[in-house]
Amino acid sequence: MLHADRATKRYGTVTALDALNLRVEPGETVCLLGANGAGKTTTLNLFLGFAEPDEGAVRVDGIDPAREPEKARRLIAYIPENVALYPALTGLENLAYFDRLSGHSQPPARLRELLVEAGLAEDQISRPVGGYSKGMRQKVGLAIAFAKEARILLLDEPMSGLDPKAASDFTARLKTFSAAGCAVLMATHDIFRAKECASRIGIMKSGTLVETIASAGVDANRIEQIYLDHMHADAVS
């Protein structure tokens, strides 16, 4: 569903992404770990068609997102670190609005079900979003993705700033996407949550994917040690 073939992106003299090779298959969740500036967000932007590779190629289910951005984005749901919602509207009204934007028109009862599936409590659904916590807003973002019936889910630091319970709830809901056969690609700093939800974990440094780890059979402590070894490599040498 997602394929990068030696994708390289430069901004002036800075190489933000260097010859990235990456595949994410249906039913698979891949998490990219790395510090700020490692190339994680640039990778997502290439798949979203917000940027075009200077060398190499990226494909979304065989589609070039730089050439056919609308066609590619119809397959994608994107959840950023801070989901942009209309604060004066309720969770239900926000979902109904974004549902119509995506070309659907699902009945209110179904939209309420989607919000509950995303983790919102019944009494929160009809409250203005301006009073929501960040975790509640992220759940509305998941409901928007559910409603769109996207085949691909891209997430950029979606759990940054969430308390442990909210992050755990978000991770549990996230697993429903891969279980339904969606391809999920998430950029994160959170090693523990990456281990919890990912099929594979990619470690990025200075625009390069330096290692990919199959998460099965490897605990979070070991992943953290591998990550730190890469981060410290230059200092040691």
Instruction: Output the pLDDT for position 159.
Output: 85
Measured CA to CA in angstroms, residue 104 lies from 4, 82, 94, 147 at distances of 30, 24, 14, 8
Instruction: Output the pLDDT for position 237.
Output: 44
CA nearest to 127, candidates 115, 113, 117? 115
Instruction: Output the pLDDT for position 24.
Output: 97
The residue ranges of the chain whose pLDDT is under 70 are 234-237
| Torsional class of 80: left (φ above 0), alpha (ψ -120 to 50), beta (otherwise) | beta
Instruction: Output the pLDDT for position 236.
Output: 45
Instruction: Output the pLDDT for position 172.
Output: 87
Whole-number Å distance between alpha carbons of 91 and 88: 10
Instruction: Output the pLDDT for position 235.
Output: 54
Please report the sign of the dihedral spanned by the C-alpha atoms of residue 208, residue 150, residue 199, residue 59: negative
List the end-to-end C-alpha distance of the chain, in Å, as a whole number: 38
Measured CA to CA in angstroms, residue 185 lies from 76, 90, 176, 219 at distances of 11, 29, 14, 20
Residue pLDDT, tens place only, 91-143: 999 999 999 988 888 899 999 999 998 889 999 999 999 999 988 998 999 99
Instruction: Output the pLDDT for position 234.
Output: 67
Instruction: Output the pLDDT for position 46.
Output: 97
> Treating both helix axes as pointing N-terminal to C-terminal, what angle do 108-117 and 91-101 enclose, rounded to 10 degrees?
110
Measured CA to CA in angstroms, residue 167 lies from 62, 153, 209 at distances of 33, 17, 25
